[in-house]
Structure 1
C-alpha cells in the first residue's frame, strides 16, 4: 500500500494562506487551543515536503529547525544537494512523489507553499486534506488553491474546534 500525502495547512475564511507579501502574523493573533491539532498530525508523519520559500521562511523565524526529527525534502529550482536539515529536489514533482510514496514509511506532510501545492493539486497527489480555518477575512493574499485544478471528490472524516480555529479533515474518495 502506498504512503499517503497529507496537506495540513491553515487558511483564512476567504481562502488565503498568507498575505500578499507572505506575512503570516495574523495566524498567531488568534486564540487557539493547545497546539491546534498539530501534534496529532505530526505523530502520523515521518516525511515532509515543502517549497524553498517555505523552507527559507521556517529557517528565518526559528532559531533551530523544528523538524530535524523528520526526513525533509525541499523542492527548489536554484538549490541542489542537501544541508543539515533537508534534501533539495530539482526533479519532476510527479516522478519524485510517485517514487517516494512507494518507499516504506508513514504519511508524508505536504507543508506548502502555494506553487508546490498547485503542482500537487494538478497531479492529484494529495490523499488527505486537513485544513484549519481561521477567523479572518484577509480580502487578498496568496490563495490556498489556484485555478484550473482537477475535481476531487472527498469524504468528510471529521470536524474539530480549537478555540477560534475550525479544523476540517477530508480523505480523497477512491
Structure 2
C-alpha cells in the first residue's frame, strides 16, 4: 500500500499561508530544500488541489531551461515534471502540465483507491483543504514540515482547530536560517 506524505512550510503558529494566501514569510534555503528532499518516505507522484496545481504548473516547467537556477533545482524540477500528478478539482477543465491527471470525483474514495497501488508514496504539497480532509479521514501517513521561525497571528492553518492528530517524531534537523525540518508519522 502506498504511503501519503505531506511536505509543507509552516510558521510557528501552524499557518501554511498568510491571510491572503501570501507566502512571503518563508525563509528560503538550499540546505533545507535538499534535506526536505532526502528526508521521509520515497515518493513517485503528487496529490494536489487546484490552487497548488495552478501555482506549481506556472513555476516548475520553466526551471529546467532557466540558467538562473542551480543544478539541484533543475534536477528537482525534472523529477517533479516527470512524475504523475493527481489534481483534485471540481472547477478545472484542462490541465497543461505534463503527466497531470484531473480527478473530479470524491476526494476520499479516489485517494483510497490510489493508496491501494504498489510502489513509493504520494506527496502532497500545499493543498491545505485536501490535507485537512485526508488528515481527518486518517489517510496521511507522514508529515514533513519546514518550520519557519515566524508567527503570523492569522492565516490559513495547516490543521483545523478542532482536529486532534497524534504524531510521532521520526527525525528533526535545524539550519542556520532558523528553519527546522520536522518529520512525523501518524501513531
TM-score clears 0.5: yes
Contact kept? 2:61, 2:81, Cα under 8 Å = no
CA shift for structure 1 position 153: 2.5
- RMSD across aligned C-alpha pairs, in angstroms? 2.2
* 1:108 aligns to 2:118 (yes or no): no
Partner residue, 1:14: 13
Matches within 5 A, 1:115-134: 115-134=129-148
Runs of at least 5 residues in structure 2 that lack an aligned partner in the other structure? 64-76
Q: Deviations over 1:11-31 (max 9, x none)?
A: 01111111111111221x455
Counterpart selection for 1:68 from 53, 58, 81: 81
Counterpart selection for 2:38 from 30, 35, 40: 40
* TM-score, scaled to structure 1: 0.86
**CA 1:124 to 1:162, structure 2 compared with 1: closer, same or farther past 3 Å?**
same
* TM-score, scaled to structure 2: 0.81
CA shift for structure 1 position 4: 0.5
| Equivalent pairs, count | 170
**Distance between the aligned counterparts of 1:96 and 1:81, measured in 2?**
19
Runs of at least 5 residues in structure 1 that lack an aligned partner in the other structure? none
Matches within 5 A, 1:59-98: 59-62=57-60, 64=62, 66=77, 67-80=80-93, 82-85=95-98, 86-98=100-112
